[in-house]
Amino acid sequence: MDKKVLVLCTGNSCRSIIAEALINAKLDGVMAESSGVRASGRVNPNAKKVLEDNGIWRDEYHSKTLDTLIDNEYDLIVTVCDHANETCPMFPRPTPKIHVGFSDPDGKGFDEFEKTYKEIEDILLPKIEEFFN
């Protein structure tokens, strides 16, 4: 049975979208969704490009508000920015949470998005695997 992970950040336009896509593409038996505590309503074009360049973009990825997912059941909540970690809401049922913060590439050059992609792949994915094993 697949494990369900919710990835949270502030705007749900860069880091959480990249993490969602990486988890879905690289971790067998784990399905991810992402959301923002104050969702921007858009996916950053550079976040989309880095996912396209790595062959893991899906048209279903979009910026979502937390209220659209709050009633879903998750096996793990992952916060990828300090603001989301500090303001993470209570979910209807107790859900384990881990925090791994990454610098926000928004407003920076494409190389920062590539760096963020690599950091999430190298740091966050092993932590999620370790949590489920």
| Predicted pLDDT at 88 | 65
What's the rounded Cα separation, in Å, for the pair 33 and 84?
Answer: 15
Asked if residue 77 belongs to a domain, the reply is yes
Query: Could you tell me the residue range of the domain that residue 64 belongs to?
Result: 3-128
pLDDT in tens, 38-70: 888 899 999 999 999 999 999 999 999 888 888
What's the rounded Cα separation, in Å, for the pair 86 and 21?
Answer: 24
| Predicted pLDDT at 70 | 82
Burial of 112 (0-12, 13-18, 19+ CB in 10 A): middle
pTM of the model: 0.94
Total domains, the chain: 1
Active-site residue (options: 43, 81, 120, 125): 81
82: domain CATH number?
3.40.50.2300
Active-site residue (options: 31, 69, 88, 98): 88
| Predicted pLDDT at 117 | 98
Using DSSP, state whether 14 is helix, strand or coil: coil
Asked if residue 133 belongs to a domain, the reply is no
Query: Is 14 known to be catalytic?
Result: no
pLDDT in tens, 73-112: 999 999 998 776 676 666 777 889 999 999 999 999 999 9
Active-site residue (options: 9, 14, 32, 47): 9
